C-alpha cells in the first residue's frame, strides 16, 4: 500500500501557551501564536503572533508578524511587520512593510528588503525579481497608513480565506484579531466599545457585527485610533 502523505491544514494555528518554555527550532506551514517563552528559530509560511506575555530569544522568518510581547533577535518578514503598543524589540528588522504603533519600543536597525531578498534569506528558490518600489509608491503608502487618503494599494492587507467564513460571514472581532489589530476578541471588543474603530470611514459601535464575503471582495478598510490602518480582502 502506498504511503499516505499527511494533509496540512493551512488555516490551522499552532500555539505556545503562556507559561510554556520551548528551546529549539520550529518549521511550520501555518500560522503560529506564541504566548509563552521560546528560544531558538521560528520559520513559518504564515502569520506569527507574539502575544503580550511572550518572550522570544532568537530569529523569526515568516510572511507576516504581529508583535505585542518581548523579542530579542532578528526578524525577516516577507510582507508586514506590525510593532504593537507595549512591545519591546531588541534586534535587527528586515521587512518589506513596517507598521509602528505609539507605545512600542525598538532598539536596533531596520532594513527594507525586496521579495527576492527575503526569498534568498529564507532559502526559497529564486524567481523573477520585481523592481524596487518607487519613492512615489512609498509616499502613497505612508499617506494611506497615517492619513487615510490617497492610494490604499500599499496599505497593510490581510487575506481572509473562504475557510475563515461561517455562512459567508466572519465576526468583526475575529476579523480584527486575524488582521493583527488586537491580540484577542476581548480586546477587540473593548476597542469597539471605546469608539476607537472605524470601518470604511464609518464608526463601528456594534461588536456583534459580521463582515460578509461580498464586503471582503470589495475590501474592508479598518482604522484603529488615528494612525493605524489595515485592509481585509477575500483571498
* Helices and strands counted in the chain (H then E): 5, 20
User: How many other β-carbons are positioned within 10 Å of the β-carbon of residue 179?
Assistant: 23
Residues 98 and 25 in one domain: yes
Residues 22 and 118 in one domain: yes
* 119-to-47, 63, 79, 221 alpha-carbon distances in Å: 16, 11, 11, 29
pLDDT tens figures, 159-213: 999 888 999 999 999 999 988 888 888 889 999 999 989 998 899 999 999 999 9
**CATH number, residue 213:** 3.10.290.10
pLDDT at residue 12 in the model: 67
What total of structural domains would you count in the chain? 2
Q: How far is it between the farthest Cα atoms of the chain?
A: 60
Residues 60 and 155 in one domain: no
Q: Is 115 helix (H, G, I), strand (E, B) or coil?
A: helix
Indicate the pLDDT class of residue 133, thresholds 50, 70 and 90. Answer: very low
Domain for residue 142, yes or no?
no
Global confidence as pTM? 0.55
Range of the domain at 206: 148-234
Q: Torsion over CA of 68, 74, 79 and 81, rounded to 10 degrees?
A: 20
Residues 202 and 101 in one domain: no
Name the grid cell of 67: 508583535
Q: Is 104 helix (H, G, I), strand (E, B) or coil?
A: coil
Domain for residue 141, yes or no?
no
Amino acid at each position: 500500500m502506498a504511503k499516505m502523505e499527511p494533509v496540512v491544514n493551512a488555516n490551522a494555528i499552532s500555539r505556545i501557551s503562556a507559561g510554556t518554555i520551548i528551546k529549539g527550532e520550529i518549521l511550520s506551514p501555518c500560522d503560529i501564536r506564541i504566548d509563552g517563552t521560546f528560544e531558538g528559530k521560528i520559520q513559518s509560511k504564515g502569520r506569527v503572533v507574539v502575544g503580550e506575555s511572550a518572550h522570544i530569544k532568537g530569529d523569526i522568518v515568516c510572511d507576516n508578524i504581529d508583535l505585542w510581547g518581548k523579542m530579542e533577535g532578528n526578524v525577516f518578514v516577507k510582507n508586514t511587520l506590525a510593532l504593537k503598543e507595549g512591545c519591546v524589540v531588541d534586534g535587527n528588522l528586515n521587512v518589506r512593510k513596517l507598521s509602528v504603533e505609539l507605545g512600542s519600543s525598538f532598539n536596533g536597525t531596520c532594513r527594507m528588503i525586496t521579495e527576492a531578498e527575503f526569498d534568498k534569506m529564507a532559502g526559497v528558490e529564486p524567481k523573477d525579481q520585481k523592481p524596487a518600489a518607487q519613492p512615489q509608491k512609498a509616499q502613497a503608502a505612508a499617506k494611506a497608513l497615517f492619513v487615510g487618503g490617497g492610494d490604499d494599494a500599499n496599505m497593510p492587507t490581510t487575506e481572509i480565506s473562504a475557510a475563515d467564513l461561517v455562512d459567508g460571514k466572519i465576526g468583526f472581532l475575529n476579523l480584527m484579531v486575524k488582521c493583527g489589530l488586537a491580540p484577542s476578541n476581548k480586546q477587540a471588543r473593548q476597542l469597539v466599545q471605546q469608539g476607537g474603530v472605524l470601518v470604511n470611514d464609518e464608526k463601528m459601535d456594534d461588536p456583534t457585527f459580521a463582515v460578509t464575503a461580498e464586503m471582503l471582495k470589495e475590501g474592508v478598510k479598518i482604522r484603529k485610533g488615528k494612525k493605524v490602518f489595515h485592509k481585509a480582502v477575500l483571498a
